Amino acid sequence: MPDTELIDYVRAAARLLDLTLDDAQAERVALHLARTRAMAALLHQAPLAPHDEPAELFRPAPFPEEDPA
């Protein structure tokens, strides 16, 4: 079961978004967030330098011109 602080966060976010969650739903969402937090912690521990994974520059394709016909 996720910690109380995480469940409080889920309930606060649900109120902000005007979502109705019962206790079981709030616990399931909090459990998912706890898993996500654990995965992020593993990634955060990986010894990577900025040059290990350079960010790509996003360059959208040109918008297709419309035929004025």
Q: For residue 8, what are the CA distances in angstroms to 25, 31, 57?
A: 13, 12, 38
The pLDDT profile of the chain, 69 residues, written as one tens digit per residue, is 568 999 999 999 999 999 999 999 999 999 999 999 999 999 889 888 877 777 777 788 888 777 666
Whole-number pLDDT of residue 60: 83
Range of the domain at 15: 4-47
8 Å CB contact between 27 and 1 = yes
Q: Does residue 19 fall inside a structural domain?
A: yes
Whole-number pLDDT of residue 23: 94
Q: Does residue 21 fall inside a structural domain?
A: yes
Per-residue buried b or exposed e for 46-62, using 16+ beta carbons within 10 Å of the residue's own CB: eeeeeeeeeeeeeeeee
Whole-number pLDDT of residue 6: 93
Whole-number pLDDT of residue 68: 64
Whole-number pLDDT of residue 69: 62
Distance CA 11, CA 22 (A): 9
Q: Does residue 61 fall inside a structural domain?
A: no
Number of domains in the chain: 1
Largest separation between any pair of C-alpha atoms in the chain: 63
